[in-house]
Structure 1
Amino acid sequence: MGHDVDTSTPFLPPKAAQRQPDPLERIARELLLELGEDPEREGLSGTPARWARWWREFTTYEPGSLETVFESASTTETVCVSGIEVWSLCEHHLLPFSCNVTIGYRPQGQVLGLSKFARIAHQHAHRLQLQERLTSDIADMVAKLTASADIAVLCRGEHLCMAMRGIRTPATMTTVTWRGAFADPAVRAEFLALLPSSATGTGPH
């Protein structure tokens, strides 16, 4: 009895797909060339890929869960979280700026988990930003998650777009949002009294 012979092409596993360069790598190479550099020289040969990875990593930052809340019986106490340090990117010059963020609110039946304040600040910082908008964005998110209208957010920023270009002078910019009960000077004073001097600008940053 004869045997059938399989003459079909044997299965070969597909070759591993080659990594497609990130389009940002091309932009980085063009930037280096415009600056009079050789993208292929030692020290720069991997720079376009590293630069592309950094931009992707920074702008696709995932802060994790934001919505852990706990019941609170008090609606008159002030909760304040200070010393949250974040980095963001000035949308006018694509240069970094750092911010020291302070957040305060008066709970309306529920309080937000402590780590969530830092996650909120980082979520809104990891994009092209203005410090004024960053301050407002943080306040909006805290108000949404806590269901409280009584929100205070104070940011003190140092901007490389001022320190490294233009006037080339370091300076500190302060932005603040007062909402709800914090529009009351007495409540505002109570909030400010809780802060370390570095957060209010009365001491070294």
Structure 2
Amino acid sequence: MTRSEPSERKGHKHRKSQLNGHSGSSDLSEAETASQSSSKRDSSKKRKGTDDDARVNGHPAKKTRRPSLTQPARDPRDTFTTKPAKKKSKAKTEGALTRSPSPVIDFDGLSRPSRGTRERLEESPEQAAIRLEKLQGAVRTILECVGEDPDRPGVLDTPRRYAKAMLFLTRGYQENVKDIVNNAIFQEGHNEMVIVKDIEIFSMCEHHLVPFTGKMHIAYIPKNQVIGLSKLPRIAEMFSRRFQIQERLTKEVAYAIMEILQPQGVAVVMESSHLCMVMRGVQKTAASTITSCVLGAFEKKEKTRNEFLSLVGLKK
């Protein structure tokens, strides 16, 4: 009996330690569960706060609108004292306007202005005379370089004539969209397609400085306001009276109308013949180039796009 007592005591201690160990694990498990519950409640509160911030009076926050004639862009001549904060790019873009890298119409109604554009628009009569004289000198140099005699009677006055013609052919640089539109935007309930077709276009290829000519078709679907019909050809002419490429010319006309009217959609199609392909290079006299730009409803709805193409005779 005496020998068995230590064994019993030993077994009793072993069972007690097992019970104590089980109790410790249980306490630890309960603490972890409580901690996880607390974390979930905190996360839920944060999400709720974010959702509340993103909504105002139960409605989603409004998206920032692109600059337009009524809400102009910043004056590009102004400089920031500090660098503007970079906006996070969205994975999904909405609408066709997001594809434009910069506002088509600047704060003062000019489009794609450069320093030379502003100088030409704001120059005095004396400065205009200096510009004309510089152009004449450049043309005289060209005549000499191609082997002509600039003092020959037949070309004696060519520098002056060419200089004046070039300023006329590029007068679109100094035209202002605001002046062209001239408040000819009217509130109307018409929400069906409006088309102005067969607009004659004359422009200068920026690669070779030779003309390209053709026709442009413009359509838009109003959103409770319309523009004077004559303004569409005038906008097209303003952009064409510059050194251009046809692809950019088509887009500029479409984006300008989209920005001026904010309609449901705009479509522009142009077909033209380029003298740089006819007189030089491949010399294909019968070749024509067709470009298009469709925005808004015309881009999203195939039926609307096909209706436009059918009405202008480009879809059989």
Instruction: Report if aligned partners of 1:112, 1:145 keep a CA contact under 8 Å in 2.
Output: no
CA distance, structure 1, for counterparts of residue 264 and residue 278 of structure 2: 36
The answer on 1:72 being equivalent to 2:188 is yes
CA distance, structure 2, for counterparts of residue 201 and residue 155 of structure 1: 14
The answer on 1:55 being equivalent to 2:166 is yes
The alignment partner of 1:179 has SS state of strand
Q: CA deviation at 1:34?
A: 1.3
Q: Which amino acid aligns with 2:209?
A: L
Structure 1 stretch displaced more, 64-73 or 167-176: 64-73
Give the corresponding residue for 2:78.
Answer: none
Q: Which amino acid aligns with 2:278?
A: A
Instruction: Report if aligned partners of 2:297, 2:304 keep a CA contact under 8 Å in 1.
Output: yes
TM-score, length-normalised on structure 1? Answer: 0.82
Q: 2:241 is matched with which residue: 121, 126, 133?
A: 126
Which consecutive unaligned segments of at least 5 residues does structure 1 have? 1-16
- Tell me the percent identity: 38
The answer on 1:32 being equivalent to 2:143 is yes
Q: 1:113 is matched with which residue: 228, 231, 238?
A: 228
Give the corresponding residue for 1:188.
Answer: 305
The aligned length equals 181
CA deviations over 1:65-104 (Å, ceiling 9, x no partner): 22411222132x1111101001111111111101311000
CA distance, structure 1, for counterparts of residue 190 and residue 161 of structure 2: 50
Q: CA deviation at 1:127?
A: 0.6
CA deviations over 1:135-194 (Å, ceiling 9, x no partner): 000001111121114010001011001001001112110001111111211101111221
Q: CA RMSD in A?
A: 1.9
Q: Which amino acid aligns with 1:181?
A: A
CA distance, structure 2, for counterparts of residue 152 and residue 57 of structure 1: 28
CA distance, structure 2, for counterparts of residue 54 and residue 33 of structure 1: 20
**What aligned pairs does 1:165-204 form with structure 2 within 5 A after superposition?**
165-170=280-285, 171-183=287-299, 184-195=301-312, 197=313, 200=314
Larger radius of gyration: 2
Instruction: Report if aligned partners of 2:309, 2:315 keep a CA contact under 8 Å in 1.
Output: no
Instruction: Report if aligned partners of 2:306, 2:315 keep a CA contact under 8 Å in 1.
Output: no
Moved over 6 A (4+): none
Summarize the Cα distance change of 1:201–1:155 in structure 2 as closer, same or farther, 3 Å threshold. farther
Q: Which amino acid aligns with 2:294?
A: W
Instruction: Report if aligned partners of 1:79, 1:104 keep a CA contact under 8 Å in 2.
Output: yes
Structure 1 stretch displaced more, 110-119 or 179-188: 179-188
Q: Which amino acid aligns with 1:79?
A: V
CA distance, structure 1, for counterparts of residue 161 and residue 190 of structure 2: 50
CA distance, structure 2, for counterparts of residue 82 and residue 130 of structure 1: 20
Higher relative contact order (CA 8 A, sep 6+): 1
Q: CA deviation at 1:201?
A: 8.4
The alignment partner of 2:147 has SS state of coil
CA distance, structure 1, for counterparts of residue 211 and residue 280 of structure 2: 12
Kindly indicate which of the two structures has a greater share of residues assigned to strand.
Answer: 1
Summarize the Cα distance change of 1:192–1:201 in structure 2 as closer, same or farther, 3 Å threshold. closer
Structure 1 stretch displaced more, 123-132 or 56-65: 56-65
TM-score, length-normalised on structure 2? Answer: 0.54
Give the corresponding residue for 2:254.
Answer: 139
